[in-house]
Amino acid sequence: VVDGRFVGGHITRSYGRPNQGVEAIQMELVQETYMEENGPPFSFLPERAARIRPVLKAVMAAFIG
């Protein structure tokens, strides 16, 4: 965690059960990768999201195998 906003890892602790074969991943993106942060309004920017989408797909494919 770089900025400390999601230090707790609630998702991975709550849903991950490695001893039962259930793994959990918590991925976080800086908001500027998909939205305008200089607001409000904080608008979704499809052109930014389009650039990160193939990267996210590749990361998930690597995790899934």
Whether residue 4 lies inside any domain: the answer is no
Whether residue 2 lies inside any domain: the answer is no
- At residue 31, φ and ψ (nearest 5 deg) are -60, -30
Q: What is the DSSP string of 5-58?
A: TTTT-HHHHHH-BGGGTB--------GGGTB--SSSS--B-HHHHHHHHHHHHH
Is the separation of the CB atoms in 45 and 34 below 8 Å? Answer: yes
Structural domains in the chain (count):
1
Instruction: Domain of residue 28: give its range.
Output: 10-64
Task: Tell me how far apart the alpha carbons of residues 22 and 1 are, in angstroms, rounded to a whole number.
Answer: 23
* pLDDT tens-digit map of 3-54: 566 566 788 888 889 999 998 888 888 888 999 988 788 899 999 999 999 9
pTM above 0.75, yes or no: no
Mean pLDDT of 57-64: 91
Indicate the pLDDT class of residue 1, thresholds 50, 70 and 90.
low
Whether residue 1 lies inside any domain: the answer is no
